[in-house]
């Protein structure tokens, strides 16, 4: 809302400086956004919150100033002279849609002479940046910016049968507005019609046909209360926002219709002459009665944290337009003014008294009681995850939660149900390369596709060694829950090879639980390479998936090189996490290390070989370490491999003897030979 300094002086004596005024207004709720010098005036831009429609007019702002500076407020009392002919002889108004229009008033002025509005009025409107039209239209604008009530003037001759019908728009109905564009209306919108067609879109804009022009002689003045929601949805659907719709959307003062109507008539008579017909047409429901509100003084201290002198309270409320009904040493009861529909409870009055008294007087150094906070386990787990991954050289990414369909379908290991669909798409979140992929309106069921897109972006920007991770929720619909499942996942995408990334996953699990070990099992996921992939398990819980991105998926995601992806359920990881590690005694005796080199079939998996090695070795076996695999078809024949590994034995009780070690080795050799047809080399 832009207010003019000069205009404000009409209602309050501005003895303060401009800077002092805007500071106090800011600190009492009208945030100062800037001031422009216009001719000999200041155009002051104030931010008005949506509950304060009363401050969308100069009088409302002046009332705030009067309360803040404890000075008188002068509001004009318009008493336009009327003729003897009565409006009811010439005009009628019917409200067919009470939901859209609670109250409608009309006055009629006959014999006006259209011309320029007075200089003072033009100057004030120009200060606000409002275009000048003629003495009738300018007067309606002037009164709107004076009191916040939008008004409309019709060329009465253009209203068929002198009738006004307030109704819902009909299907397919069209309407040409003052901007000379034709709008397609829809049921639910409120139109003002004569006995023929729509002449105005209620609360939004007048019609071209009935607009006041040079040829206008008689004008009908509309002052009405339109339903905020109806006006807002019509203005939004038609993209037709006006100062009128802005005010109706925020609830105008339905008790002020008559004042505004009289005021504009008075101004028109002054500058355009003519005769105001006797009486007013006033249809619809009378405004609801206003209920008194009781404010206990103790609430001020309790909620504001400062003591406000009791004798400050009632006068302040009065300055703001409340009428005091009664008061005693504990409380005051007052009826709020019609323009403050937001004041219905004691806490609303606490705010009023507090903001006029000054929030700057509230201390910022009180004793807030101490309280110990704690960090939830999930938080600490995610922190550890991030520490391991950054130490491993992975950078963290943050990507949007909604994805287009091809990405949504590309990888859905956690869930078979179709994704949740959003009513609104996310706009502007895809890079140009990906614009044609689809509408971004599906809630993702995996983080991996989003990370593959990030990888592609980095590939295209020639960024080398891209290793990224993200922790975020995925959204899994389920029929049996009110709110869909939204588990936290961790996903990785890496330039490194399969085992380098697997090593990171293993290190991650070890960090969270030194005793846990990840197993990998075969899986079938189209996104992943058939052999370089697997499902990750922790005991009997599925931890996630990892694998090399398949050739076809690389093509789909526009990747120029190989990528390994991982996705892990952070809930499972959290469940397995041991935040407090336990000590075990370290053996003081030396280890015995033995290397083995076995020839075996390619089909033998390391995991099963390792379990054979461990199976009968007992507590003396300290560790098994895989060393390498190599193949020598010339010597070993086709389909064979040599697997080298090293085993460390150690006792907690004594130094192992050669014979003990020998016996353990022999057991390993025997078991490996019988379980895997493995042959020991040399």
Partner 1 sequence: MSIELFIEQLEALAQEADKAFSEAADSDQLDLARVEFLGAKKGRLKSLQKNMGAVPGDQKKTAGMKLNAVKNSIQDAFESAQSRLSSASSDGQRDVKFDATLPGEAFHVGRLHPITQTINELKDIMGRLGFTPAEGPEIEDDYHNFEALNIPRAHPARDPLDNFYLSVAETTSGNDSALSGNPLLLRSQTSTVQIRVMENTQPPVRIVSLGRVYRPDTADWSHYPMFHQIEGLMVDENVSLADLKTVLKLFASNYLGDEVPVRIRPSFFPFTEPSVEADYYWDGKWVEFGGAGIVDPNVLRAVGYDPEKVSGFAFGLGIERLCMIRHQITDIRYLFTNDTRFLHQF
Determine the interface stretch with partner 1 among 25-33, 96-104, 112-120, 514-522 (rule: CB under 8 A): 25-33
Instruction: Please give the Cα distance from 354 to 53 (Å, whole number).
Output: 20
**Range in contact with partner 1 (rule: CB under 8 A) among 37-45, 191-199, 201-209, 398-406:** 398-406
Q: Which long-range contacts (CB under 8 A, 24 or more apart) does 379-383 make?
A: 380/579, 381/512, 381/570, 381/573, 381/574, 381/577, 382/471, 382/488, 382/570
Nearer to partner 1, 5 or 475 (CB): 475
Binding residues among 170-229 for partner 1 as defined by CB under 8 A: 228-229
Beta carbon of residue 300, minimum distance to partner 1 (angstroms, whole number)? 10
Mapping DSSP onto H, E and C, the string for 274-286 reads: CEEEECCEEEECC
Nearest-angstrom CA–CA distance, 314 and 322: 9
Indicate whether 294 belongs to the interface with partner 1 (CB under 8 A).
Answer: no
Q: Three-state SS for 200?
A: strand
SS3 readout for 289-345: CCCCEEEEHHHHHHHHCCCCCHHHHHHHHHHCCCEEEEECCCEEEEECCCCCCCCCC
Query: 15 vs 372, which CB is nearer to partner 1?
Result: 372
Q: Is residue 371 part of the contact set for partner 1 (CB under 8 A)?
A: yes
Q: Applying CB under 8 A, which part among 190-198, 394-402, 638-646, 648-656 lies near partner 1?
A: 394-402
Residue from 158, 341, 355, 489 touching partner 1 (CB under 8 A): that is: 355
3-class SS of residue 385: helix
Answer yes or no whether residue 362 interacts with partner 1 by CB under 8 A. Answer: yes
The residue written with tokens 């006797």 in the block is 278
Q: Is residue 681 classed as helix, strand or coil in its secondary structure? A: coil
The first and second tokens of residue 46, run together, are 């104030």
Give the residue with the Cβ less far from partner 1, 371 or 585: 371
Choose between 117 and 230: whose C-beta lies nearer to partner 1.
230
Asked if residues 564 and 548 have their Cβ atoms less than 8 Å apart, the reply is yes
Least distance between partner 1 and beta carbon 524 (Å): 24
Q: Does 482 bind partner 1 (CB under 8 A)?
A: yes
CA angle 217, 223, 227 (to 5 degrees): 140
Q: Tokens 């002889």: give the residue.
A: 89
Dihedral of the alpha carbons of 427, 432, 433, 439, in degrees to the nearest 10: 20
Q: Which two tokens stand for residue 508?
A: 């991650």
Chain-centroid distance of CA 617 in Å reads 60
By beta-carbon proximity to partner 1, the closer residue of 211 and 249 is 249
Smallest gap from residue 419 Cβ to partner 1 (A): 7
Q: Which is nearer to partner 1, 222 or 569 (CB)?
A: 569
**Of the two residues 130 and 310, which places its CB atom closer to partner 1 in the complex?**
310
- Tell me which stretch binds partner 1 (CB under 8 A): 108-116, 311-319, 369-377, 607-615: 369-377
Q: Per rule CB under 8 A, is residue 571 in the interface with partner 1?
A: no
Half-sphere exposure of 677 (CA within 13 A, CB side): 7
- Name which of 40 and 375 has its Cβ closer to partner 1: 375
Q: What minimum distance in Å lies between the beta carbon of 171 and partner 1?
A: 21
Distance CA 218, CA 272 (A): 11
Taking the CA atoms of residue 303, residue 307, residue 308 and residue 311 in that order, the dihedral angle to the nearest 10 degrees is 120
Contact positions with partner 1 (CB under 8 A) in 655-674: none
When the beta carbons of 88 and 298 are compared against partner 1, the nearer one is 298
Q: Among 363, 637, 658, 682, indicate the residue that binds partner 1 (CB under 8 A).
A: 363
Q: Which is nearer to partner 1, 286 or 305 (CB)?
A: 305
Residues 42-61 that bind partner 1 (CB under 8 A): 49-52
Q: How far is the CB of 534 from partner 1 (least distance, A)?
A: 24
Q: Which helix (H) or strand (E) holds 78?
A: none
Q: Of 635-654, which residues contact partner 1 (CB under 8 A)?
A: none
Single out the residue of 167, 386, 510, 594 in contact with partner 1 (rule: CB under 8 A): 386
Q: 3-state secondary structure string, 100-148?
A: CEEEEEEEEEECCCCCCCCHHHHHHHHHCCCCCCCHHHHHHHHHHHHHC
Please say which residue, 118 or 487, places its beta carbon nearer to partner 1: 487
The nearest distance, CB 480 to partner 1, in angstroms, is: 10
Residue with tokens 């100057």: 123
Q: In angstroms, give the least distance from the CB of 661 to partner 1.
A: 27
Which of the residues 526 through 555 are near partner 1 (CB under 8 A)? none
Please give the Cα distance from 11 to 67 (Å, whole number).
12
Of 360, 416, 524, 603, the one binding partner 1 by CB under 8 A: 360
Report the residue number, 53 or 672, with the smaller CB distance to partner 1: 53
Contact track, partner 1, 300-329, x by CB under 8 A: -xxxxxx-----------------------
Per CB under 8 A, 561 contacts partner 1: no
Instruction: Rule CB under 8 A: choose which of 129, 273, 418, 618 binds partner 1.
Output: 418
Distance between CA atoms of 446 and 443, rounded to whole angstroms? 9
What beta strand segments (E) does 573-620 contain?
592-601
Tokens of 273: 């002459």
Give the interface size with partner 1 as a residue count (CB under 8 A).
94
Distance in angstroms (rounded) separating the CA atoms of residues 149 and 248: 8
Q: Please state the closest distance from residue 331 (CB atom) to partner 1, in A.
A: 14
Q: Which of 10, 275, 351, 562 binds partner 1 (CB under 8 A)?
A: 351
Query: In the range 232-271, which residues lie near partner 1 by CB under 8 A?
Result: 232, 236, 249
395 binds partner 1 (CB under 8 A): yes
Q: What 3-state DSSP class applies to 663? A: helix
Structure-block tokens of residue 223: 């002052």
Q: Hey, which residues between 419 and 478 contact partner 1 (CB under 8 A)?
A: 419-429, 431, 443, 454, 457-458, 461, 463, 465-469, 472-473, 475, 477
> Is 484 among the residues that bind partner 1 (CB under 8 A)?
yes
Question: Are the C-beta atoms of residues 109 and 276 closer than 8 Å to each other?
Answer: yes
93/320 with CB nearer partner 1: 320
Nearer to partner 1 by Cβ, of 99 and 530: the residue is 99
CB–CB of 399/452 below 8 Å? no
Task: Give least dist CB 35 to partner 1, A.
Answer: 16
**Spatial distance between the Cα atoms of 408 and 144, rounded to a whole number of angstroms:** 52
Instruction: Compute CA distances 390 → 300, 396, 442, 504, whole Å.
Output: 51, 8, 30, 11
As a three-state string, the secondary structure of 259-303 is HHHHHHHHHHHHHHCCEEEECCEEEECCCCCCCCEEEEHHHHHHH
Question: What's the closest the beta carbon of residue 313 comes to partner 1, in angstroms?
Answer: 15
Minimum Å distance from CB 644 to partner 1? 22
């Amino acid at each position: 809302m832009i207010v003019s300094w000069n205009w404000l002086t009409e209602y309050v004596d501005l003895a303060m400086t401009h800077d002092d005024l805007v500071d106090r207004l800011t600190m009492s709720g009208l945030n100062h956004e800037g001031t422009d010098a216009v001719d000999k005036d200041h155009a002051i831009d104030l931010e008005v919150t949506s509950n304060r429609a009363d401050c969308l007019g100069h009088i409302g702002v002046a009332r705030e100033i009067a309360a803040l500076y404890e000075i008188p407020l002068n509001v004009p009392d318009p008493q336009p002279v009327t003729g003897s002919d009565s409006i009811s002889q010439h005009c009628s108004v019917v409200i067919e849609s009470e939901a859209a229009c609670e109250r409608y008033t009309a006055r009629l002025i006959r014999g006006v002479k259209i011309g320029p509005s007075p200089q003072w009025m033009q100057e004030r409107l120009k200060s606000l940046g409002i275009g000048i039209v003629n003495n009738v239209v300018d007067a309606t604008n002037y009164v709107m910016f004076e009191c916040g009530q939008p008004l409309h003037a019709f060329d009465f001759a253009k209203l068929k049968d002198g009738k006004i019908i307030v109704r819902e728009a009909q299907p397919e109905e069209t309407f040409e507005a003052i901007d000379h564009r034709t709008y397609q209306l829809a049921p639910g919108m409120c139109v003002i019609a004569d006995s023929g067609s729509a002449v105005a879109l209620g609360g939004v804009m007048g019609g071209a046909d009935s607009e006041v022009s040079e040829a206008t002689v008689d004008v009908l003045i509309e002052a009405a209360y339109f339903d905020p929601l109806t006006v807002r949805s019509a203005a939004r659907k038609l993209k037709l926002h006006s100062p009128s719709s802005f005010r109706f959307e925020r609830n105008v003062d339905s008790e002020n219709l008559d004042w505004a109507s009289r005021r504009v008539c008075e101004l028109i008579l002054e500058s355009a002459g003519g005769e105001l017909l006797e009486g007013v047409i006033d249809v619809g429901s009378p405004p609801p009665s206003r209920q008194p509100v009781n404010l206990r003084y103790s609430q001020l201290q309790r909620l504001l944290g400062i003591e406000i002198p009791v004798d400050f309270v009632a006068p302040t409320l009065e300055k703001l337009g409340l009428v005091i009904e009664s008061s005693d040493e504990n409380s005051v009861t007052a009826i709020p003014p019609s323009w403050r529909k937001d004041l219905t409870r004691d806490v609303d009055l606490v705010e009023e008294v507090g903001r006029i008294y000054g929030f700057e007087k509230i201390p910022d150094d009180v004793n807030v009681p101490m309280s110990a906070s704690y960090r939830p386990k999930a938080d600490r787990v995610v922190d550890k995850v991030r520490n391991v991954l950054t130490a491993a050289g992975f950078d963290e990414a943050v990507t949007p939660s909604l994805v287009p369909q091809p990405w949504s379908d590309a990888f859905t290991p956690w869930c078979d149900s179709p994704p949740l669909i959003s009513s609104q798409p996310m706009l502007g979140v895809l890079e140009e390369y990906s614009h044609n992929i689809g509408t971004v309106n599906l809630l993702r069921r995996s983080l991996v596709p989003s990370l593959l897109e990030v990888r592609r972006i980095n590939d295209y920007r020639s960024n080398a060694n891209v290793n990224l991770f993200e922790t975020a929720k995925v959204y899994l619909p389920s029929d049996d829950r009110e709110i869909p499942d939204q588990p936290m996942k961790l996903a990785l995408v890496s330039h490194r090879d399969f085992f380098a990334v697997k090593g990171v996953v293993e290190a991650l699990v070890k960090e969270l639980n030194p005793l846990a070990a990840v197993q990998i099992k075969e899986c079938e996921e189209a996104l992943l390479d058939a052999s370089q992939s697997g499902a990750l398990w922790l005991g009997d819980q599925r931890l996630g998936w990892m694998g090399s991105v398949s050739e076809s998926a690389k093509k789909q995601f526009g990747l120029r090189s190989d990528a390994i992806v991982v996705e892990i359920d952070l809930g499972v990881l959290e469940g397995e996490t041991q935040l407090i590690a336990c000590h075990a005694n370290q053996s003081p005796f030396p280890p015995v290390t033995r290397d083995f080199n076995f020839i075996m079939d390619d089909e033998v998996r390391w995991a099963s070989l390792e379990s054979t090695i461990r199976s009968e070795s007992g507590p003396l076996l300290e560790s098994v370490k895989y060393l390498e695999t190599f193949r020598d078809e010339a010597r070993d024949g086709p389909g064979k491999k040599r697997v080298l590994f090293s085993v460390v034995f150690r006792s907690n009780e004594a130094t192992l003897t050669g014979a003990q070690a020998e016996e353990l080795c022999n057991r390993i050799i025997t078991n490996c030979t019988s379980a895997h047809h493995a042959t020991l080399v040399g």
